[in-house]
Amino acid sequence: MRHTLPLAPQFYVTAPQPCPYLDGRMERKLFTALQGENAEKLNDSLSQQGFRRSQNVLYRPSCADCSACLSARIDVSAFAPTKSQRRTAKRNADLERRATSPWATEDQYDLFRTYLDSRHADGGMADMDVFEFAAMIEETPIRSRVIEYTQRGAGRALTGVSLTDVLTDGLSMVYSFYTPDAPRRSLGTYMILDHIRIAQEANLPYVYLGYWVPGSQKMGYKSKFAGLEVYLGGRWQKMNDPQNFRPDRHPLSTDPIAEQVANISLPDTRPTG
């Protein structure tokens, strides 16, 4: 079904499919195309309203009977590392960061396949081939970077990769993957810590992490970062205690699609000058 606003992007809803985070639930997404000369403005605006980018699409959960998925970001000014996070940073001091243009490589794909086969063999991306992987990395109409992490003294082996968008108000970690063979390194946590560092250096206020889902073990690590905010009820709220959030499941927990679309704020795309 199509939903539109006057002189605005068209919004669509996906068909229901099994939720990858919570057993026994069905997911549905509200999405719109990301294209044209105003793509960056649209991406910035909708990212601030809980949307995420996947290639040339912006999407946000819009499940019929569940509103558990909450967009999450870290307020860099409010972040302070825990003792555990400081130890993680120390354990990964031998890693070097390299930021490149969004081009896919064979080394990236090999690491991606190893990561999926180990961590997400039954996920929606499990069957992604090298061409689909290249599209995920390279099909971006906005300012994106591939941030690679390599290990010194180990033939500069590729250890982790993050596809990262640069927004006007922060960094958005679109997708990250890493070697599953070094669990003590906590590489997922380390890459978030490093993105906080990058944002601090660039005077960007936020690091966007995607969705946090209360009740999902896969997403539990995100709630451990100080300064975390979640998008709930049309605004960003501080995450003071993860236990205060519950996977809401109720027939009235999600607004009708037309109402959701009507409440989306779109950027001013009129020419200036």
Asked if the model's pLDDT at residue 96 lies above 60, the reply is: yes
35-52 confidence digits (pLDDT tens): 888 899 999 999 999 999
Among residues 68, 60, 50, 139, the alpha carbon closest in space to that of 102 is found at: 139
Asked if the model's pLDDT at residue 6 lies above 60, the reply is: no
Pairing relationship of beta strands 144-151 and 158-167 according to DSSP bridges:
antiparallel
Give the Cβ contact number of residue 160 at 10 Å: 25
Asked if the model's pLDDT at residue 123 lies above 70, the reply is: no
Asked if the model's pLDDT at residue 4 lies above 60, the reply is: no
- Mean pLDDT score across all residues of the chain: 88
If DSSP codes are grouped into helix, strand and coil, which group holds residue 210? Answer: strand
Residue 15 contacts by C-beta under 8 Å, 6 or more apart in sequence?
A: 28
- Looking at the chain, the domain(s) classified CATH 3.40.630.30 span 72-244
Alpha carbon distance 227, 261 (integer Å): 29
pLDDT grade, residue 5 (50/70/90)? very low
Instruction: State whether CATH 3.40.630.30 applies to domain 72-244.
Output: yes
134-193 confidence digits (pLDDT tens): 999 999 999 999 999 998 876 778 999 999 999 999 999 999 999 998 889 999 999 999
